[in-house]
Amino acid sequence: MDASTLRNMQAPIKEAYRQDPQSARITLQASGTLGEGITCNVATGQALARAGLHPGTGGDGLSLCSGDMLLQALVACAGVTLNAVATALGIELRHAELHAEGDLDFRGTLGLDRETPVGFRAIRLQFVLDTTATEEELATLLKLTERYCVVYQTLAGPVPVSAAFERA
């Protein structure tokens, strides 16, 4: 896809959102059911993903780790965003690899140390690009990819999260 095709594809969507800003507000959803052992089956739209405990917390390594899935969501979103931004800017990416890694201390989630936070302490996202883009173009590409990547922005800034029980 080239920049013109992308602009033409998005133009009517952008115009509709300009005319009716409320229509741009969309609620994404995910759902799952408890599975065998300590697992949760998550519907992905393409297949059922079985999430379980990370081996560092007692898992057998046969199920997906939700922490890995979070990093995978970041890579997926950043990759799509990078591709769209590069296309819009006319930057040719001959090849691109994305890598995300995050640091956890499982003492927190296992309740061994109340002072140890639960969750990622740091996440790093790296792009390995084969491109003829200038350093200035790459700086713009990175800035805009960070700015428009939904998962990156969600992780980078606090977002209200709530949980509740409902009886079946």
Mean pLDDT of 17-36: 95
Instruction: Give the integer Cα–Cα distance in Å for 39 and 60.
Output: 11
HSE on the CB side for 159, CA within 13 Å? Answer: 8
30 occurs within a structural domain: no
CA-based nearest residue to 60, from 33, 36, 34, 29: 36
22 occurs within a structural domain: no
106 occurs within a structural domain: yes
19 occurs within a structural domain: no
Task: State the CATH number of the domain containing residue 80.
Answer: 3.30.300.20
What's the full length of the chain, in residues?
168
117 occurs within a structural domain: yes
Instruction: Give the integer Cα–Cα distance in Å for 119 and 151.
Output: 16
- pLDDT tens by residue, 86-140: 999 999 999 999 999 999 999 999 999 999 999 999 999 999 999 999 999 999 9
DSSP label at residue 112: S
58: left (phi over 0), alpha (psi -120 to 50) or beta: left
26 occurs within a structural domain: no
Binning pLDDT at 50, 70 and 90, where does residue 158 land? Answer: confident
55 occurs within a structural domain: no
- Map residue 76 onto helix, strand or coil: helix
Contact predicate 125/97, CB 8 Å: no
pLDDT beyond 90 at 45: no
**Taken in order 127, 133, 139, 140, is the CA torsion positive or negative?**
negative
DSSP label at residue 158: -
What's the number of domains the chain is made of?
1
Full residue range of the structural domain in which residue 133 is found = 65-156
Instruction: State the average pLDDT for the chain.
Output: 96
Residue 121 burial (CB count, 10 A): 11
Instruction: Give the integer Cα–Cα distance in Å for 77 and 24.
Output: 18
pLDDT beyond 90 at 50: yes
29 occurs within a structural domain: no
